[in-house]
A and B are shown apart, each in its own frame.
Chain A
Amino acid sequence: MPSQWTSEQVLALAPDAASAKNGRGLATLRKWSSLGCSSSVVWGECQGSGNDPYRTQIDVSEPAFRCSCPSRKFPCKHGLGLFLLLAEQANEFAETEPPAWVAEWVLSRSQRAEKQAAKQAKQQEQVADPTAQAKRAAARQHKVSLGIQDLRLWLEDRVRQGLATVQQEAYQVWDTVAARMVDAQAPGLARQLREMAGLANLSAGGHARLLERLGQLYLITEGFQHIDSLPLEVQADLRTQIGWTVSQDEVFNRKPHSDLWLVVGQRTEVEDRLRIRRTWLLGIGTATFALLLDFAHGQQPFEHSFLSGTCLEAELVFYPSAYPLRALIKTRQEAVLLSKQPPGKTTIAEAIATYSHAFAVCPWLEQFPLLLQAVVPFREGDHWLIQDAQGAVLPLSNRLEPRQAWQLLALSGGTPLTIFGEWNGDDLLPLNVWMEESLYGLG
């Protein structure tokens, strides 16, 4: 089987650094026997410490992993080792008839896909009791409006007393009002208040930044007070900000967007014990960005794996918003690889104009996808920046580790490269870089 994956792409799938290290240790032919492949499935047996070797298999089209080892990591080190072996020594995998243990998995996977489709269809037919549903919704609406009235009072008190003393305040001041918002079933507002508590301790420019956030929070409460008079999409954005969730079924009923979606970037962040993964897609045909959010608790694996640089032929459905980004995959075909440079040609000025437009229709955007072709990274004192051919510069985020920044510079060598990253209005956090047809992950 010819392989198009690079080691970096494979290692980006590792759930943690230890798995990456162990997986790399297993990426040697001597550890493996009965390597083979058939269509999109590869397999091999890895000798572990026990008597029986572990049976490891990967469906690279998704990619999906399965291994007989008892590890709870996903993918486990054997899965990563086998994938690395495929990336580095693909000619060792001969196309052959799959053994029984592989054939059975392939069959069970296709059956499961059918079952899921059936389940989805069935769920859509089921309609919950509409009266009970309406009653629950009205109760929440009431709770939230009471909470929002409290929040408005609290916010007004803040500016009446002045923000000068905010740094001396205990965290509890913020926590109490955040807890009140949780009680009022407005978790989105609670989250923003807790973020602001961290901001209040910043010195230079901290007060101005805090005032921005307080003002924007006030704007949400203002909008909520006459939410019914607003356009539907704006209503949806406000409700998302306050903490309403839209059920997946509801989203699945929306208009599907079919395209060839390129995985342009991925980043996982941890909030308390919850891991949140953002996967950014770019529709090749429509030049639309989409964001897939996945959540996992603690060490639990994410349900799907996505490889940066691969293309999925899929139908996406978008969550309602004045500037729709968040989406779900409704149906998908097997993954096709494309590690060539992503299409299009955007200057920094054009990219920022797109952001400005998006921000004007939906001022709640936290991360905005920017794909910039032909930018050159450089250093100015302790700061890293990128510049395009027109001379426009954007600052890079200080969340970029020094090693990653230097890697970016090494890849560029002073010549232009393509960067995908998240823009937050102040700085850009690069996630992926394309140089000479090759993709490099910095996430």
Chain B
Amino acid sequence: MNNLKFRFVAVPSMVAGMILFGGGEAWAMHIMEGFLPPSWSLFWTAVSLPFFVLGFRSMRKIVADNPRMKLLLAMVGAFAFVLSSLKIPSVTGSCSHPTGVGLGAIMFGPSVMSVLGAIVLLFQALLLAHGGLTTLGANLFSMGIAGPFVSYGIYKLADGMKAPRSMAVFLGAALGDLVTYVVTSLQLAAAFPSTTGGFAAAMFKFLGIFAVTQVPLAVSEGILTVMVYNTIRSYAGETMFSSATLSGEVK
């Protein structure tokens, strides 16, 4: 598979990635540069790497099977950019933003999002001082792997239980969003256990910061994902759409 084809997907994502917003106040989902001890940085990088490779192969296969999928892949990437630019006020009196990775996970299977997520995170880290290179592996695991896999799993589960499709998409996207932040809390708690209360106390603290803020945003993300999913589905036509959905692809 040549890089040319892949570039059609990567370029829109990258261009948008280059222009991701800066500033340090709203990216709740990223662990900031340098805020993870070196051993943990390495650990999460090692965990994320195989998923990234899988995602890359999955993406190549999708495009090779049907070149028209490049457009849909670019669109799910773009959706993640739009959603992550929406800083939304929450019930805790602070702001956070959705992730936008659920849509792609539901349409193409979860591993694709590890590549799109990595592109987003890399450019943010390099150009916008968001997240960081040293925390890239950890951030990729929460946003590009754990979140999408949960989105996809929940969607499949709900769909298998004959839930209405919109409901399945909503649940998948909303819960994937929440899980991203739970994983971030877990990563931070593992790296910075409380001297008095250990891991649990630290986990509780980080969850209080991240997860509670995220609850209404997860609902928003679920709703927005349903809207875009339904629109793409009706415009793409069933033949194209059903070939996009890689039902068998849980790796």
- Specify whether A and B are partners: no
